[in-house]
A and B are shown apart, each in its own frame.
Chain A
Amino acid sequence: MDLLTQVLVNGLLLGGLYAVMALGLALVWGVLNIVNLAHGSFIMLGAYCSWHLFHSLHIDPFLGLPLTAAVMFALGYAVQRGILNLIVRAPMFNTLLLTFGLDVVLTYLAQLAFSADFRTINPGYAGRQWHWGSVVLPTMRVAAFGAALVITMGMWLFLLHTRLGRAIRATAQNLVAARLYGVEPRHLYAMTFAIGVALAGTAGGLYGTVSQINHYIGASLTLKSFAIAIIGGLDNPLGVLVGGLFLGVVESLTILYIGPTFVDVASFGILALVLIVRPTGLLGKTA
Chain B
Amino acid sequence: MILKRLHPLLSSLCAFGLALAAAAPVQAQDIVLGASAQLTGPVANTGRYYRDAYQTAIDKINAAGGVKIAGKEHKLALKLYDSQSDVNLSVRQYTQLVTQDKENLLLGGFASNFQLADSVVSEKYKIPMVQGGGASNEIFTRNFKYIFGTLAPASNYFGSTVTMMKALKDGPKSVALLYADASFDVSTAAGTRSLLKAAGFNLVMDERYSSNTSDSSTLLSQVKAKNVDAVLVAGHETEILNFVRNAKSLAVAPKMYSFTVGVPSEDFRKALDKDADYAFGMTAWLPEASLKDRWFGDAAQFAAEYKAKFGYDPDYHAASGAADVEALAMALEKAGSTDPQKVRDALAASDFESLYGPIKFGANGQIDMPQLVIQVQHGQVAEVYDAKGFVKQPQYPMTAWNAR
- Binary CB contact string for chain B from 204 to 222 against chain A (1 if under 8 A, 0 otherwise): 0001111011110111011
Q: Is B59 an interface residue (CB 8 A)?
A: no
Q: Is B277 an interface residue (CB 8 A)?
A: no
Q: How many angstroms from the CA of A65 to the CA of B217 in the assembled complex?
A: 24
List chain B residues, Cβ under 8 A from A216: 41-42, 44, 85
Q: In the complex the two chains form, what is the Cα distance from A142 to B85 in whole Å?
A: 34
List of B residues within 8 angstroms of A118 by Cβ: 45, 237-238, 241, 267-268, 271
Tally of A interface residues using CB under 8 Å: 43
Contacts A220-B212, A261-B181 given; does A7 touch B218 at CB 8 Å: yes
Would B222 and A256 count as touching, CB distance under 8 A?
A: yes
- Indicate whether A108 sits within 8 Å of B267 (C-beta atoms), given known contacts A116-B45, A260-B210: no
- Check: A275 CB closer than 8 A to any chain B CB: no
Q: B249 to A117, Cβ gap below 8 A?
A: no
The answer to whether B245 touches A212 (Cβ under 8 A) is yes
With both chains docked as a complex, state the minimum distance between the C-beta of B120 and any C-beta of chain A, in angstroms.
26
Instruction: Say whether chain B's binding surface is mostly helix, strand, loop, or mixed.
Output: helix
A117-B271, A251-B215, A263-B212 known; A129 and B250 CB under 8 Å?
Answer: yes
Q: Assess A260 versus B208: contact at CB under 8 Å? Given A111-B44, A120-B272, A255-B218.
A: yes
CA distance A120 to B402 in the complex (A): 20
Other-chain residue from A111, A251, A255, A263 in contact with B40 (beta carbon distance below 8 A): A111
Do B249 and A255 have beta carbons less than 8 Å apart?
no
Does B20 sit at the interface, judged by CB under 8 A? no
Partner of B209, one of A10, A122, A260: A260
Q: Is B377 an interface residue (CB 8 A)?
A: no
Per-position 1/0 for A105-130, Cβ under 8 A of B? 00110010001111110100011010
Q: Is B48 an interface residue (CB 8 A)?
A: yes
Binary B-proximity of A130-165 (CB < 8 A = 1, otherwise 0): 000000101111000000000000000000000000
Q: Is B14 an interface residue (CB 8 A)?
A: no
Bound-complex Cα distance A120 to B276 (A): 12
Q: How many residues of B contact A (CB 8 A)?
A: 42
Provided the pairs A117-B267, A118-B241, A127-B401 are in contact, do residues A252 and B210 lie with their beta carbons within 8 angstroms? Answer: no
Is B7 interfacial (CB-CB < 8 Å)? no
Please tell me if B251 contacts chain A, counting CB pairs below 8 Å: yes
Whether B213 and A260, one on each chain, are in contact in the complex, defined by CB atoms closer than 8 angstroms, is: yes
By secondary structure, the A interface counts as helix
Among candidates A10, A126, A141, residue contacting B218 with C-beta atoms closer than 8 Å: A10
Q: CA–CA, A251 to B85, complex, Å?
A: 26
Is B22 on the interface with A (CB-CB < 8 A)? no
* CA of A11 to CA of B215, assembled, Å: 10
A214 touches B45 (CB 8 A): yes
Q: Write the A240-264 contact mask toward B (1 if CB under 8 angstroms, else 0).
A: 0000000000011001100111111
Task: Tell me how far the C-beta of B382 lies from the nearest C-beta in chain A, rounded to whole angstroms.
Answer: 22
Interface flag for B248 (CB, 8 Å): yes
Asked if A264 contacts B218 (CB within 8 A), the reply is no
Q: Is the C-beta of B118 less than 8 angstroms from some C-beta in chain A?
A: no
B window 1-57: CB within 8 A of A: 40-42, 44-45, 47-48
Interface residues of B (CB under 8 A from A): 40-42, 44-45, 47-48, 85, 181, 207-210, 212-215, 217-219, 221-222, 224-225, 237-238, 241-242, 245, 248-251, 267-268, 270-273, 275, 401-402
Q: Which residues of A contact B (CB under 8 A)?
A: 2-3, 6-7, 10-11, 14, 107-108, 111, 115-120, 122, 126-127, 129, 136, 138-141, 210-212, 214-216, 220, 224, 251-252, 255-256, 259-264
8 interchain residue pairs of minimum CB distance = A260-B209, A138-B249, A116-B45, A116-B44, A255-B218, A10-B217, A3-B225, A118-B271
Q: What are 18 inter-chain pairs, A to B, with CB distance below 8 A?
A: A6-B224, A10-B215, A10-B217, A14-B217, A107-B40, A117-B271, A120-B245, A120-B272, A122-B245, A126-B249, A127-B251, A129-B251, A212-B238, A212-B271, A214-B45, A260-B207, A263-B209, A264-B212
